[in-house]
Amino acid sequence: MLGLSFPAGKELEKLALKSHNDKVVRATMKGADCSLSGVENRCRAMLDRGVPKEEIAAFCLASILAALKGMADALLHRFGTLPIVFAGGVMSNTILRNALEKKYGAFFAQPEFSCDNAAGIAVLAAWKEGLLQ
C-alpha cells in the first residue's frame, strides 16, 4: 500500500521515525485476544485522504503496539507477574521493542531469531515437548 519493498518492516520503521505524530491508539481487545482487522482499512483511508506516508506508518506501528500492550496487560492480569518474552519478525522493530522494554522489562529474542516467526514457534514447541529446561 505504501510502496515499500517486501519485507517492509525496516522501511515501515524508517518512515514512522520521521513522523512527529504522537496520537494515542487504542486496540480492539477481547480478553487477551486482539483484532487488527480495522488497521489496514484505516491506513488505506488515510492514504486516500492524502495523509503523509510517515504518519500512516506511525499509526500502523502504534496500532500494533497498542495490541501488544493490551495482550500483555490481559495476560499479566490473568497469570500474575511473569517475565514476558517477545519473538518473531515484528519484534525486530526498535519502536516496539523500546516501548515494550520500558513498560514491561520484556525480553526479546536476538534479532537474528526475530526475523521469522518460525524461530519462536520452534522454541515454544521444544519447551512444550520438554526438550528445554
- pLDDT-derived band of residue 18, with 50, 70 and 90 as boundaries? very high
Which has the minimum average pLDDT: 7-11, 33-37, 119-123?
119-123
Given this model, what pLDDT does residue 70 score? Answer: 93
pLDDT score of 24 more than 80: no
- Considering only CA atoms, which of 105, 41, 36 is closest in space to residue 68? 36
Length of the chain equals 133
Q: If you average pLDDT over every residue of the chain, what do you get?
A: 86
All residues at 6 or more sequence positions from 85 whose CB lies less than 8 Å from its CB, including other chains = 106, 107, 108, 109
110 has pLDDT over 90: no
Going by pLDDT thresholds of 50, 70 and 90, the confidence category of residue 111 is low
Domains assigned to the chain? 1-78 (3.30.420.40), 83-133 (no CATH)
Region 80-95 average pLDDT: 84
